[in-house]
Amino acid sequence: SINLNCEHFFLKNVFIPYSVSILPYELGQNTFITDYFLAGICVVLLCLRGFASPGVCPDRCDCQQPQRLTCANRGLRFVPPQSGDREEVLVLSLGGNFIGNISAVDLGSFTGLVRLDLQFNQIQSIHPRAFEKLYHLEELYLGHNHLSEIHTGTLQPLKKLTVLYGNNNDIIEITPGLFDTLDRLVKLRLDGNKIQSLQDSLFKDLDNLRYLHLESNQLQHIHRNAFSKLANLRFLNLSRNKLPALRGAPTFSLRRNFKGLVFHSVGSPAGPMGSGKLAQVLLGWVAMCLAPIQVAYCQTANGNGPLQASRFTSTSDQREAQRVRRRGPETLRG
């Protein structure tokens, strides 16, 4: 290994030669060790520390905060090379760079990560095994990249994940089984993509999901059971999509603890079942079928403002509603 080679080199070529050839000499009763001998010891210690320590800071990164590795906005085109085990790193920030892909080994040594930020890069692909050792990861931010898909199984090891941002990418379809095993997920952002439809049981394992953002996509079809397994869903944003008029039976099978809806259709034609009427019909269905629901914000396509706004009972729900009212559905940020 590098550590043993380094130690062997300096012990053989620095430490031993100087300690033997330049012997200590005596002045009176005191024995002094030469400067060369001390220099050899210092070099050995520095070498061992530099290569053996798992806390070595990669080039162009900031390691001043304990357990946090900050490499954001550094012009990086790839994940910094690993040097030793980085299990002690809990937060890794790589946002605002030019990283194009995440390989199977890029994150292999960061086994203790709790938060990983890869936003605002140029990521086009993520290897299916890229996250296989991130067993403790709780927050994953992949927003504002160029991802067209995330392969089934890529997220499977992330059983502790609570927050997932996949917003503002180029995702067209959510692959079946992508969210399997993510039963601790609380917030999911898929807004700002090109998703056209939501099939049955896509979110079937997301028992604890509370906030789901699907605004600013190209949604034209939502299966009537797409949200039926989301037992704890409290906030759903479907604004800025191309959903047609509601016909026949209700499209959504939501639970009674659902508290917030943001709806704003921009693709429906004007007329009796245009976007404004569609929103009213949806609100009417909500009021009839889900009596306890509290609608946060519902805007017509012509921008006339909210059709109905109600109070939320929890602080987190209030924050979501305030973000929508303050910035508008199309500019919502988590």
Residue 16 lies in a domain: yes
Range of the domain at 40: 2-51
Measured distance CA(128)–CA(176) in Å, rounded: 15
Residue 293 lies in a domain: no
Task: For the chain, give the mean pLDDT.
Answer: 73
Give the mean pLDDT of 99-121: 96
Grade residue 16 by pLDDT with cuts at 50, 70 and 90. very low
The pLDDT tens digits of the residues spanning 260-289 come to 677 655 554 433 334 454 555 455 445 434
Residue 11 lies in a domain: yes
Residue 333 lies in a domain: no
Residue 122 lies in a domain: no
Residue 140 lies in a domain: no
The pLDDT tens digits of the residues spanning 228-259 come to 889 899 999 999 998 875 444 444 555 556 66
pLDDT value at residue 278: 52
Most confident of the following: 75-89, 170-184, 269-283 = 170-184
Four-CA torsion 176, 92, 214, 306, nearest 10 degrees: 160
The pLDDT tens digits of the residues spanning 121-154 come to 999 999 999 999 999 999 999 999 999 999 999 9
Residue 170 vs residue 274, higher pLDDT: 170
pLDDT value at residue 308: 38
> Tokens 């995440």, residue?
102
Residue 9 lies in a domain: yes
Measured distance CA(67)–CA(47) in Å, rounded: 23
The number of folded domains in the chain is: 1
Residue 39 vs residue 2, higher pLDDT: 39
pLDDT value at residue 110: 93
Residue 295 lies in a domain: no
